[in-house]
Chain A
Amino acid sequence: DTAVSQTPKYLVTQMGNDKSIKCEQNLGHDTMYWYKQDSKKFLKIMFSYNNKELIINETVPNRFSPKSPDKAHLNLHINSLELGDSAVYFCASSHTAGTGGQFFGPGTRLTVL
Protein backbone atom coordinates (compact mmCIF):
# COMPACT_ATOMS: atom_id res chain seq x y z
CA ASP A 1 0.00 0.00 0.00
CA THR A 2 3.03 2.30 0.26
CA ALA A 3 2.57 5.14 -2.21
CA VAL A 4 6.13 6.45 -2.46
CA SER A 5 8.91 4.32 -1.06
CA GLN A 6 12.61 4.96 -0.69
CA THR A 7 15.53 2.76 0.18
CA PRO A 8 17.52 2.87 2.27
CA LYS A 9 15.98 4.86 5.10
CA TYR A 10 19.36 5.55 6.68
CA LEU A 11 22.72 5.70 4.97
CA VAL A 12 25.98 6.28 6.83
CA THR A 13 29.13 6.37 4.76
CA GLN A 14 32.63 7.78 4.51
CA MET A 15 33.69 10.80 2.49
CA GLY A 16 34.68 9.92 -1.04
CA ASN A 17 32.37 6.94 -1.37
CA ASP A 18 29.69 6.51 -4.03
CA LYS A 19 26.15 5.69 -2.97
CA SER A 20 22.68 5.32 -4.47
CA ILE A 21 19.18 5.95 -3.17
CA LYS A 22 16.21 4.28 -4.81
CA CYS A 23 12.66 5.57 -5.13
CA GLU A 24 9.52 3.91 -6.36
CA GLN A 25 5.93 5.12 -6.58
CA ASN A 26 2.81 3.07 -7.21
CA LEU A 27 0.41 5.97 -7.69
CA GLY A 28 0.53 6.01 -11.47
CA HIS A 29 2.09 9.47 -11.45
CA ASP A 30 4.21 10.57 -14.37
CA THR A 31 6.38 13.14 -12.61
CA MET A 32 8.94 12.40 -9.93
CA TYR A 33 11.25 14.64 -7.92
CA TRP A 34 14.26 14.62 -5.64
CA TYR A 35 14.51 17.13 -2.81
CA LYS A 36 17.24 17.82 -0.29
CA GLN A 37 16.29 18.91 3.23
CA ASP A 38 19.14 20.30 5.29
CA SER A 39 19.53 20.46 9.05
CA LYS A 40 17.53 23.70 9.20
CA LYS A 41 14.62 21.96 7.46
CA PHE A 42 15.02 24.00 4.28
CA LEU A 43 13.64 22.02 1.37
CA LYS A 44 15.26 22.44 -2.03
CA ILE A 45 14.32 20.75 -5.27
CA MET A 46 17.19 19.01 -7.01
CA PHE A 47 15.70 17.19 -10.00
CA SER A 48 12.41 16.42 -11.63
CA TYR A 49 11.55 13.81 -14.24
CA ASN A 50 8.40 13.74 -16.34
CA ASN A 51 7.76 10.48 -18.21
CA LYS A 52 11.38 9.47 -17.72
CA GLU A 53 12.64 12.75 -19.12
CA LEU A 54 14.70 15.18 -17.06
CA ILE A 55 12.84 18.49 -16.91
CA ILE A 56 14.18 20.22 -13.83
CA ASN A 57 17.84 20.24 -12.96
CA GLU A 58 18.60 22.81 -10.30
CA THR A 59 22.07 23.96 -9.43
CA VAL A 60 23.34 20.68 -8.12
CA PRO A 61 26.94 19.39 -8.30
CA ASN A 62 27.66 16.99 -11.15
CA ARG A 63 28.39 14.36 -8.53
CA PHE A 64 24.63 13.91 -8.26
CA SER A 65 23.10 11.96 -11.11
CA PRO A 66 19.46 10.93 -11.28
CA LYS A 67 18.24 8.00 -13.35
CA SER A 68 14.70 7.10 -14.25
CA PRO A 69 14.42 3.60 -15.74
CA ASP A 70 10.64 3.99 -16.00
CA LYS A 71 7.86 6.30 -14.84
CA ALA A 72 7.56 4.58 -11.49
CA HIS A 73 11.22 4.78 -10.49
CA LEU A 74 13.67 7.59 -9.93
CA ASN A 75 17.03 6.76 -8.44
CA LEU A 76 19.72 9.12 -7.22
CA HIS A 77 23.39 8.27 -7.47
CA ILE A 78 25.96 10.35 -5.64
CA ASN A 79 29.68 10.15 -6.44
CA SER A 80 32.55 11.19 -4.20
CA LEU A 81 30.40 12.01 -1.20
CA GLU A 82 31.29 15.13 0.81
CA LEU A 83 30.46 16.18 4.35
CA GLY A 84 28.06 18.82 3.02
CA ASP A 85 25.97 16.14 1.35
CA SER A 86 24.71 15.06 4.76
CA ALA A 87 20.96 15.74 4.72
CA VAL A 88 17.61 14.05 4.34
CA TYR A 89 16.74 13.31 0.72
CA PHE A 90 13.08 13.07 -0.19
CA CYS A 91 11.62 11.58 -3.30
CA ALA A 92 8.18 12.78 -4.40
CA SER A 93 5.75 12.21 -7.23
CA SER A 94 2.78 13.95 -8.79
CA HIS A 95 0.61 14.00 -11.85
CA THR A 96 1.79 16.27 -14.63
CA ALA A 97 0.97 19.91 -13.84
CA GLY A 98 0.94 19.08 -10.14
CA THR A 99 -2.51 20.42 -9.35
CA GLY A 100 -3.04 17.54 -6.98
CA GLY A 101 0.08 18.29 -5.01
CA GLN A 102 3.06 16.05 -4.47
CA PHE A 103 3.30 12.82 -2.54
CA PHE A 104 6.50 12.40 -0.60
CA GLY A 105 8.48 9.34 0.32
CA PRO A 106 9.67 8.69 3.89
CA GLY A 107 13.08 10.21 3.23
CA THR A 108 16.63 8.88 3.31
CA ARG A 109 18.84 10.31 6.03
CA LEU A 110 22.35 10.44 4.60
CA THR A 111 25.26 10.97 6.98
CA VAL A 112 28.71 11.45 5.54
CA LEU A 113 31.55 10.97 8.02
Chain B
Amino acid sequence: AQSVSQHNHHVILSEAASLELGCNYSYGGTVNLFWYVQYPGQHLQLLLKYFSGDPLVKGIKGFEAEFIKSKFSFNLRKPSVQWSDTAEYFCAVTPSNTNAGKSTFGDGTTLTVKP
Protein backbone atom coordinates (compact mmCIF):
# COMPACT_ATOMS: atom_id res chain seq x y z
CA ALA B 1 0.00 0.00 0.00
CA GLN B 2 1.13 3.52 -0.69
CA SER B 3 1.62 6.28 1.86
CA VAL B 4 2.07 10.03 1.62
CA SER B 5 3.95 12.32 3.96
CA GLN B 6 3.60 16.09 4.04
CA HIS B 7 6.31 17.45 6.30
CA ASN B 8 4.99 20.92 6.93
CA HIS B 9 1.81 20.95 8.95
CA HIS B 10 1.43 24.68 9.15
CA VAL B 11 3.28 27.27 7.09
CA ILE B 12 2.96 31.00 7.67
CA LEU B 13 4.25 33.41 5.03
CA SER B 14 3.99 37.06 4.18
CA GLU B 15 2.60 38.11 0.83
CA ALA B 16 5.12 37.92 -2.02
CA ALA B 17 7.20 35.30 -0.22
CA SER B 18 8.10 32.13 -2.08
CA LEU B 19 6.43 28.88 -1.17
CA GLU B 20 7.58 25.30 -1.18
CA LEU B 21 5.50 22.54 0.40
CA GLY B 22 7.05 19.14 0.76
CA CYS B 23 5.44 15.87 -0.27
CA ASN B 24 7.06 12.45 -0.19
CA TYR B 25 5.41 9.19 -1.01
CA SER B 26 6.13 5.55 -0.50
CA TYR B 27 5.19 3.04 -3.19
CA GLY B 28 7.09 0.43 -5.16
CA GLY B 29 5.57 1.06 -8.58
CA THR B 30 4.68 3.92 -10.87
CA VAL B 31 2.31 6.53 -9.57
CA ASN B 32 0.14 9.44 -10.52
CA LEU B 33 0.65 12.47 -8.31
CA PHE B 34 -1.68 15.31 -7.42
CA TRP B 35 -1.91 18.46 -5.38
CA TYR B 36 -5.30 19.64 -4.21
CA VAL B 37 -6.26 22.89 -2.52
CA GLN B 38 -9.09 23.42 -0.06
CA TYR B 39 -10.00 27.07 0.56
CA PRO B 40 -11.64 27.82 3.92
CA GLY B 41 -15.10 26.30 4.06
CA GLN B 42 -14.88 24.85 0.57
CA HIS B 43 -14.28 21.51 -1.11
CA LEU B 44 -11.03 20.19 -2.53
CA GLN B 45 -10.04 21.37 -5.98
CA LEU B 46 -7.34 19.97 -8.20
CA LEU B 47 -4.31 22.28 -8.44
CA LEU B 48 -2.10 20.17 -10.67
CA LYS B 49 -1.27 16.61 -11.56
CA TYR B 50 1.54 14.48 -12.88
CA PHE B 51 1.22 11.11 -14.56
CA SER B 52 3.95 11.03 -17.20
CA GLY B 53 6.29 13.18 -19.28
CA ASP B 54 7.90 16.39 -18.09
CA PRO B 55 8.45 16.07 -14.34
CA LEU B 56 7.88 19.79 -13.86
CA VAL B 57 4.17 20.42 -14.05
CA LYS B 58 2.37 23.70 -13.96
CA GLY B 59 -1.04 24.13 -12.47
CA ILE B 60 -3.58 26.83 -11.89
CA LYS B 61 -2.93 30.11 -10.08
CA GLY B 62 0.82 30.09 -10.67
CA PHE B 63 1.53 26.87 -8.82
CA GLU B 64 3.99 24.27 -10.06
CA ALA B 65 5.36 21.00 -8.77
CA GLU B 66 8.36 18.88 -9.60
CA PHE B 67 8.37 15.10 -9.54
CA ILE B 68 11.76 13.77 -8.48
CA LYS B 69 11.52 10.02 -8.88
CA SER B 70 14.78 9.25 -7.10
CA LYS B 71 13.58 11.12 -4.02
CA PHE B 72 9.96 9.95 -4.22
CA SER B 73 9.02 13.59 -3.92
CA PHE B 74 6.48 15.91 -5.50
CA ASN B 75 6.99 19.31 -3.89
CA LEU B 76 4.63 22.18 -4.57
CA ARG B 77 6.04 25.63 -5.33
CA LYS B 78 4.90 29.14 -6.01
CA PRO B 79 7.33 32.03 -6.47
CA SER B 80 5.17 34.70 -4.87
CA VAL B 81 2.17 33.90 -2.67
CA GLN B 82 -0.89 36.05 -2.22
CA TRP B 83 -3.25 36.41 0.70
CA SER B 84 -5.86 34.51 -1.32
CA ASP B 85 -3.59 31.44 -1.30
CA THR B 86 -4.45 30.90 2.35
CA ALA B 87 -5.84 27.36 2.33
CA GLU B 88 -5.23 23.73 3.14
CA TYR B 89 -3.04 21.88 0.61
CA PHE B 90 -3.16 18.13 0.11
CA CYS B 91 -0.75 15.93 -1.78
CA ALA B 92 -2.19 12.67 -3.15
CA VAL B 93 -0.78 9.57 -4.78
CA THR B 94 -2.52 7.01 -6.97
CA PRO B 95 -0.81 3.82 -8.18
CA SER B 96 -0.78 3.82 -11.97
CA ASN B 97 -1.58 0.13 -12.29
CA THR B 98 -4.94 0.14 -10.58
CA ASN B 99 -8.17 0.34 -12.49
CA ALA B 100 -9.92 2.41 -9.93
CA GLY B 101 -7.60 5.23 -9.01
CA LYS B 102 -7.49 4.76 -5.27
CA SER B 103 -5.77 7.89 -4.00
CA THR B 104 -3.96 8.18 -0.72
CA PHE B 105 -3.91 11.69 0.66
CA GLY B 106 -1.32 13.29 2.88
CA ASP B 107 -2.42 14.87 6.14
CA GLY B 108 -2.44 18.31 4.59
CA THR B 109 -0.50 21.53 5.08
CA THR B 110 -2.24 24.64 6.31
CA LEU B 111 -0.88 27.70 4.56
CA THR B 112 -1.54 31.09 6.11
CA VAL B 113 -0.49 34.12 4.09
CA LYS B 114 -0.32 37.37 6.02
CA PRO B 115 -1.23 40.52 4.09
Name A residues whose Cβ lies closer than 8 Å to a Cβ of B. 31, 40-45, 48, 50, 55-56, 90, 92, 94-107
Contacting residues, chain A, for B63 (C-beta < 8 A): none
Inter-chain contact count A-B, CB under 8 Å? 73
State whether B103 touches A41 (Cβ < 8 A).
Answer: no
Given contacts A43-B105, A99-B94, A104-B43, 6 further A-B contacts (CB under 8 A): A42-B108, A44-B105, A90-B43, A101-B46, A101-B49, A102-B101
B70 in the interface, Cβ–Cβ < 8 Å? no
- How far in angstroms is the closest Cβ of chain A from B98? 7
Give the CA-CA distance A103 to B43 in the complex, in Å.
9
State whether B88 touches A50 (Cβ < 8 A).
Answer: no
Report if A94-B101 is in contact (Cβ < 8 Å); known contacts: A41-B88, A101-B34: yes
- How far in angstroms is the closest Cβ of chain B from A8? 15
With most chain B CB atoms within 10 A of its CB, the pick from A31, A40, A101 is: A101
- Complex: chain A residue closest to B38, CB-CB: A41
B110 in the interface, Cβ–Cβ < 8 Å? yes
Name B residues whose Cβ lies closer than 8 Å to a Cβ of A. 32, 34, 36, 38, 42-46, 49, 51, 88, 90, 94, 96, 98-105, 107-108, 110
Give the CA-CA distance A99 to B102 in the complex, in Å.
11
Q: Which 8 A-B pairs have the closest CB atoms?
A: A98-B101, A101-B46, A104-B43, A104-B44, A43-B105, A99-B51, A55-B100, A98-B94
- How far in angstroms is the closest Cβ of chain B from A64? 17
State whether B108 touches A43 (Cβ < 8 A).
Answer: yes
State whether B108 touches A41 (Cβ < 8 A).
Answer: yes
Q: Which of A45, A55, A97, A107 lies in contact with B43, CB distance below 8 A? A: A107
The 5 listed contacts between A and B (C-beta, < 8 Å) are A45-B105, A48-B101, A97-B96, A98-B32, A99-B94
State whether A97 touches B98 (Cβ < 8 A).
Answer: yes
- How far in angstroms is the closest Cβ of chain A from B89? 10
Contacting residues, chain B, for A45 (C-beta < 8 A): 102-105
